[in-house]
Amino acid sequence: MSYTSQEISPLQKERLNYQPKLAGVLAQGINNIRLNLNESTEAVADKEEIQKLFPQVYGKPIARFCQEGSELSNEQKNVGVILSGGQAPGGHNVIAGLFDALKTANPDNKLYGFLGGPSGIVEGEYIELTENKINEYRNTGGFDIIGSGRTKLETESQFKKALEVCKSLNIKAIVIIGGDDSNTNACLLAQWMAENNTGITVIGCPKTIDGDLKNDQIEISFGFDTATKTYAELIGNIQRDANSAKKYWHFIKLMGRSASHVALEVALQTQPNITLIGEEVEARKQSLDEIVEYIANIIALRAKKGKNFGVALIPEGLIEFIPEMKTMIASLNDILAHLEKNEDYQYLAQDKKYEMITSRLDEQSAKLFTSLPSSIKAQLLMDRDPHGNVQVSRIETEKLIIEMVRTKLNIWKSQGRYQGKFSDLAHFFGYEGRCAMPSNFDADYCYSLGYNAFALIQAGLTGYLSSIKNTTKPASEWVAGGVPLTMMMNMEKRHGEMKPVIKKALVELEGPVFKALEDNREKWAMNDCFVFPGSIQYFGPSSVCDITTITLQLEQEKQLVNV
């Protein structure tokens, strides 16, 4: 066979032709669905402050699309779409669903894609998304159709510029596809557009591989399904290798900026020897040293059985859950927020920066900061993202833990408590999963979210998040609607100031998902119960291709029991 260079892979070619399934009533077509509104809602916490900040969009009712109810408008509308924050598999299908709904409703409707994330709308950088363009990206991973970014939309001048751009393109609605921070942006923009009587509405779509944008109304954020399956495949492969060579301990850090849902889901799919869960560490008030002791103990016990190998999962957000680290990071955030404006600090040599920082920390945090390796110190001082978050993906927690475990094992060796051999390998899985080709679940879910977003626009709603529920059932039984964004908000400290933000969903230690890990982890630590999930399957039996995450299945079962 001679090789000819190709533009797309055979699988990608097949996937371009995959027709995603639409949720329940949406399958009847945008022109045949009707709106139902429930009772008014309230913010999840800090109700008064949130109401004050969002008077026009606060407390709206939950929306649901059905066969009966109020008709949607069929007015001609141009829409602008923004991809915001970290990439997540399925983003292109949200745009494809939005496009198909918008063109079915009226072929004169136009869809504009703002380039490079929220900054695109402020700077007037856009392209028109045409049928040809959309067709190139159907069922593909990535956000490259228009790119993404993390600019925070919050100032009057940004909103005014966005309005000018929208007016010039006759845009009547904006769809922001993003996580908790990006949907907070969506809510701020919706409020501003409403209070200035612009006639422009704003709808959000729940995206993040981290899985922490969920609540009673939002069952899962898109991308979580594909990303966790991708990591589970890689971890399964590593477990096979560990089990074959029997000579390495693999320490694998997994993405999940705050919550540990990714690590937990992947653990249930692969059954490794050790899984740390940040939320548990916080609840048990475990110190870094106690965590290291826990890991070293399992390594020593396995070594006694002649097993000098294993796999340990570490969520990337762990560092912020360790109480002493959390306190130190919170102080660092405040200190850095002030030093950002201090030019002298910017030009200081690294060791002088450490000195200045240490002198501003309280005694305990200063001691902890000083004890850390300088690579970790530097990573902790890196710029915060535009929303004020520490960039935990860039902190090498896995290496810090390996170093501390090695030191502990050496001490135990000198005391005769450990006779094993410790060879470690560090991995970080995050970016590997964020742009994977979406699983059937994400392809269908995202297409439905986008289609549904246009239904919310035609319903005249603003400040809503597109919602598709009942997602463990076949797509024909999925329920489409919208949730007011203010319903998910509370006040949190960012960049040293209290700000309204969408409340993140952390791992519930009393919930069925964590319990499944808790009930099994002792067994998994000592016996090798590794599971090797293999790669995502797109074609084949539905029992393999269409199943979603263990997390979602356990959470939905619990809801059924509670009903």
CB of 253 to ligand FBP, least distance (A): 10
- Per-residue x/- mask for ligand FBP, residues 170 to 199, rule CB under 6 A? ---------x--------------------
Cβ 513 vs Cβ 232: under 8 Å? no
Please report whether residue 288 would count as binding ligand FBP according to CB under 6 A.
no
Q: Which is nearer to ligand FBP, 85 or 113 (CB)?
A: 85
Cα 184 from Cα 499, distance rounded (Å) = 10
Out of 101, 235, 255, 457, the only residue in the binding site for ligand FBP (CB under 6 A) is 255
Please report whether residue 446 would count as binding ligand FBP according to CB under 6 A.
no
Q: Which residues contact 363 (CB under 8 A, 6 or more apart)?
A: none
Residue type, 307: K
Residue type, 101: A
Out of 20, 24, 80, 86, the only residue in the binding site for ligand FBP (CB under 6 A) is 86
Q: Of the listed pieces 68-76, 252-260, 443-451, 464-472, which binds ligand FBP according to CB under 6 A? A: 252-260
Integer CA distances (angstroms), 215 to 113, 326, 467, 507, in order:
29, 25, 11, 12
Q: Which is nearer to ligand FBP, 228 or 452 (CB)?
A: 228
CB of 557 to ligand FBP, least distance (A): 26
Q: Which residues contact 81 (CB under 8 A, 6 or more apart)?
A: 95, 98, 111, 112, 113, 114, 129, 146, 174, 175, 176, 177
CB of 363 to ligand FBP, least distance (A): 30
Q: Which is nearer to ligand FBP, 393 or 520 (CB)?
A: 393
CA nearest neighbour of 397 among 422, 380, 410? 380
Out of 20, 85, 91, 120, the only residue in the binding site for ligand FBP (CB under 6 A) is 85
Q: Which is nearer to ligand FBP, 60 or 257 (CB)?
A: 257
Out of 392, 405, 455, 525, the only residue in the binding site for ligand FBP (CB under 6 A) is 392
CB neighbourhood size of 412 (10 A): 17
SS (H, E, C) 161-190: HHHHHHHHCCEEEEEEEECHHHHHHHHHHH
Annotated active-site residue in 181, 210, 225, 442: 210
Please report whether residue 393 would count as binding ligand FBP according to CB under 6 A.
yes
Q: Which is nearer to ligand FBP, 338 or 394 (CB)?
A: 394
Cβ 141 vs Cβ 435: under 8 Å? yes
Q: Following CA atoms 453, 458, 462, 468 in sequence, which dihedral angle do they give, to the nearest 10 degrees?
A: -30
Please report whether residue 388 would count as binding ligand FBP according to CB under 6 A.
no
Tell me which residues in 313-332 interact with ligand FBP (CB under 6 A): 316
| 3-class secondary structure, 341 | coil
Q: Which is nearer to ligand FBP, 87 or 201 (CB)?
A: 87
CB neighbourhood size of 98 (10 A): 29
Catalytic, 210? Answer yes
CB-count burial class (<10 Å; 0-12, 13-18, 19+) for 106: middle
Q: Of the listed pieces 67-75, 253-261, 500-508, 549-557, which binds ligand FBP according to CB under 6 A? A: 253-261
Query: With CB under 6 A, what is the number of residues at the site for ligand FBP?
Result: 15
CA nearest neighbour of 551 among 222, 231, 179, 224? 224
Please report whether residue 209 would count as binding ligand FBP according to CB under 6 A.
yes
Please report whether residue 149 would count as binding ligand FBP according to CB under 6 A.
no
- Per-residue x/- mask for ligand FBP, residues 40 to 79, rule CB under 6 A? ----------------------------------------
CB neighbourhood size of 281 (10 A): 25
CB of 457 to ligand FBP, least distance (A): 23
Please report whether residue 208 would count as binding ligand FBP according to CB under 6 A.
yes
User: CA angle, 339 as apex, 334 and 344 as ends, to 5°?
Assistant: 165
Please report whether residue 257 would count as binding ligand FBP according to CB under 6 A.
yes
Question: For residue 37, what is the enclosing H or E element?
Answer: strand 34-37
Q: Which is nearer to ligand FBP, 85 or 484 (CB)?
A: 85
| Six token digits for residue 154 | 């919050």
Q: Which is nearer to ligand FBP, 255 or 552 (CB)?
A: 255
- The residues that touch ligand FBP, with contacts defined as CB under 6 A, are 85-86, 88, 179, 208-210, 255-257, 316, 392-393, 430, 434
Catalytic machinery residues: 210
